[in-house]
Amino acid sequence: MTPQKSKTLSEKNQALSILINRDGLSFLTYNPATKEVGRLKSYDFQENVAEEELHEYIKKYLAEQGVTDQSYSDVRLCIANNLSTFVPEPLFDENKRATYLEDHADIRKHDFVSFDNVSSTDAVNVYIPYVNVNNMFLEMFGSFSYVHASSLLLDILSKKAAGIYKNNPYWVVHVQHSLAYFFVFNNGQLAFYNAFSWQNETDLLYYTLAVAKNNKIDLNKVTLWLSGRISPRDETHQLLSNYVNTTHFLMTSKALKTSNVKLLHPHHHNLLLELHACEL
């Protein structure tokens, strides 16, 4: 990585976490010593931005928010897309990583394929990041680390599944803008993962019922855990509750202190609030 550039303003006691996808982004700053969150902002693009233009939209918004005028002790990027798949660690070959995505994404010759080792489970997540965004972050911040949203989610969820849900079925849907990530665990181990694009509540219900059917989940007995951009008693939650007997909302570890910022619902920002502790 290239050395971090000096900025007009210095915020060396602040760290930066950013979550991006093609229809929006969110970011937070926090003090690594006190764990106090300074700012938390979320912004939705008016349209699903083309991959080739994504970095321009992100750069414009971050500049408007004054994020690019500062230096940070740590910069972390979380990438949310559906261009990923998990591979059992014993079967993973770094030199063949593009082949794992052939059935999950339209791989182009110039695509860069990255991977995350998920330390809490024996899995490797293979995915396509946004190279233009990565290059822009190098230019803006000098150095940064990045991880795929599904890697971070698996790390969070597998720790819970290996504990209190070790001997019971455990399934989760994380709603992120126009994507929904589904995870199913059996005996504390990942049994199913997929990410679906959705446009309305009916789409999300369809995928939820399909995941339940394919994984033989009893909708009357097994609690569905919800995370991300879904709120108690909103239209999406009410529709799912008509078919799933029990739903609960997955909360963060509360390692970061959010007293300085307004959170509509803490689980909306699960990924941002957990990104600082990610060891991937």
- Cα(82)–Cα(76) distance, rounded to whole angstroms? 19
Token pair, residue 172, equals 């989760």
Token pair for 125 = 């997540």
Q: Where is pLDDT greater, at 91 or 104?
A: 91
Structure tokens at 160: 């819970």
Residue 62 pLDDT > 90: yes
pLDDT at 134: 95
DSSP for 211-249 reads: HHHHTT--TTTSPEEEEES--TTSHHHHHHHTT-S-EEE
Is residue 28 within a helix (H) or strand (E), and if so which, with residue range?
A: strand 24-30
Q: Is residue 241 part of a domain?
A: yes
Residue 223 belongs to a domain? yes
pLDDT at 9 over 60: no
- For 269-279, what is the mean pLDDT? 90
How many CA atoms are closer than 13 Å to the CA of 244, on its beta-carbon side? 28
pLDDT tens digits, 169-192: 899 999 988 899 999 999 888 999
Residue 102 has what pLDDT? 86
Measured distance CA(65)–CA(8) in Å, rounded: 14
Q: How many CB atoms lie within 10 A of CB 8?
A: 9
Say if 128 falls within a structural domain: no
Mean residue pLDDT across the chain: 89
Residue 216 falls within a domain, yes or no?
Answer: yes
Q: How many CB atoms sit inside 10 A of residue 158's CB? A: 23
Q: Tell me, what's the pLDDT at 177?
A: 83
For residues 120 and 173, which has the higher predicted lDDT (pLDDT)?
173
Residue 2 has pLDDT above 70, yes or no: no
Count up the domains in the chain and report the number.
Answer: 1
pLDDT in tens, 206-253: 999 999 999 999 999 999 999 999 999 899 999 999 999 999 999 877
Q: Is residue 191 part of a domain?
A: yes
Report residue 5's pLDDT band, with 50, 70 and 90 as the boundaries: very low
In a domain? residue 219? yes
Residue whose pair of structure tokens reads 């997929």 in the numeric block: 194
Map tokens 């489970």 to a residue. Answer: 121
Write down the H helix ranges in 32-173: 54-64, 131-141, 149-161
Considering the domain boundaries, does residue 215 fall inside one? yes
Rg (CA), the chain: 19
pLDDT for position 75? 96
**25 has pLDDT over 60:** yes
Q: What is the pTM of this model?
A: 0.92
Residue numbers of the domain that contains 186: 155-249
Looking up residue 213, the CATH number of its domain turns out to be: 3.30.420.260
Q: Is the pLDDT of residue 6 over 60?
A: no
Q: What is the dihedral of CA 66, 72, 78, 79, to 10 degrees?
A: 60
For the segment 92-121, the average pLDDT, to the nearest whole number, is: 87
Q: Tell me which of 52-66, 77-91, 254-268 is least confident.
A: 254-268
- Distance from the first to the final alpha carbon of the chain: 17
How would residue 12 be classed by pLDDT, with cut points 50, 70 and 90? low
